[in-house]
Amino acid sequence: MSKSVIVIGAGVVGLACGKELSNKGYEVFIAEEEQYIATGTSARNSGVIHAGIYYPTDSLKAKLCVRGKNLLYEYCEKFNVPHSNTKKMIVATTSEETQILLKLRDTAAKNGVKLGLISGHDAVEREPNLFAISALVSPTTGIVDSAGLAASFQHQAELNGASLALETKITKITQNSKILVSGISGGKEFEAEFDFLINAAGHGAHKLTQSYWPEAPPLPKNFAKGNYFSIAGKAPFQTLIYPVPGKESLGIHYTIDTDGRGQLGPNVQWVTQPTYEVDKTLEAEFRKAARTYWPGVEDRELIPGYSGIRPRVEAKDFVIHSKDNIITLLGIESPGLTSSLAIAELVAENLK
């Protein structure tokens, strides 16, 4: 008889776990408290397929991003998920920033990612609207339709026999020889037993740990919010354009979606309460940041877009914690989308 698994959270990572585990022969039940799949962090990001450039060597982020990137491109090709290998340039606009690029190239190389350093002239030849004195070119960076990816993961999981329950909130987890979960589904209370549990609940994951893992890494005191502004009219670049990274983020960068629309973001805005409204007054901050590498931003209209809250914990890396028959996923911020299939692969290995 096959073992049963409940996956809490139907974001991209939870659905990837459901797909992988159902494919391995587990009886999978996916619980999602919202009305639809992938409405949280999965729907509120840049949709970038990251190369694995920035993360400390041997960190989970580095390993799972590089592995996940390769798996993701293969998956998108096989199952016709909209995506594009756009490539990316990280640009220096001063000689000091060029030195930062050289260090970044070394970090990427340790992660198995090869980047090419080109002159500002070559960078501008590739993207005429750009200003740069040098740039790192990442040939494996791209974009993916995150909603389409989540829907594909759901479809594949259900083909494997997995069940998805929407509007189903898990409120308590009791760990014995089996796992007893309590919650509310469709307005009615329920209890159910499973052999294994995967806590992939995103922003709700940490609260669930209180009933079985009180020593879990704490949450930051404030929430790290990222805002985006859409660029009206024709997209100025076809390549993704990033400044040199800052201390808290990769900087306000330029991306394009699978429909060809350009946008700027995210910034880092520390807030005491999670809200998803984009403050129009942030436009000046975005223009100032983009002006360093895109002088033409002055002639373009920027429209408040969307925002997201990074699901951070104080640990700087992904937290994938296995204890007995529960696996907990915390801090799955960027590059979580890119890493989703590699995370699912690791979860399946840990269940063995």
Taking only the tens place, the pLDDT of each residue in 83-104 is 999 999 999 999 999 999 999 9
φ, ψ of residue 10 to 5 degrees: the values are: -110, 45
Same domain for 200 and 185, yes or no, is yes
Residue 174's pLDDT band (cuts 50, 70, 90): very high
User: Looking at residue 1, what is its pLDDT?
Assistant: 75
Domain containing 121 equals 88-139+220-309
> Residue 162 pLDDT more than 80?
yes
pLDDT at 248: 74
pLDDT band at 249 (very low <50, low <70, confident <90, very high): confident
Q: Are 74 and 345 in contact (CB under 8 A)?
A: no
Do 325 and 304 fall into the same domain?
no
pTM of the model: 0.97
108 in the same domain as 177:
no
The secondary structure of 127-194 as a DSSP string is STT---SEEEEETT-EEE-HHHHHHHHHHHHHHTT-EEESSEEEEEEEESSSEEEEEEETTEEEEEEE
CA dist 252 and 228 (Å) reads: 9
Do 296 and 226 share a domain, yes or no?
Answer: yes
Residue 153 and residue 287 in one domain: no
CATH number at residue 107: 3.30.9.10
Both tokens assigned to 295? 């002088």
Number of domain units in the chain: 2
Residues 52, 112 within the same domain: no
Examine the pLDDT at 315 and tell me if it is beyond 90. no
- The answer on 52 and 150 residing in a single domain is yes
Please report whether residue 193 resides in a domain: yes
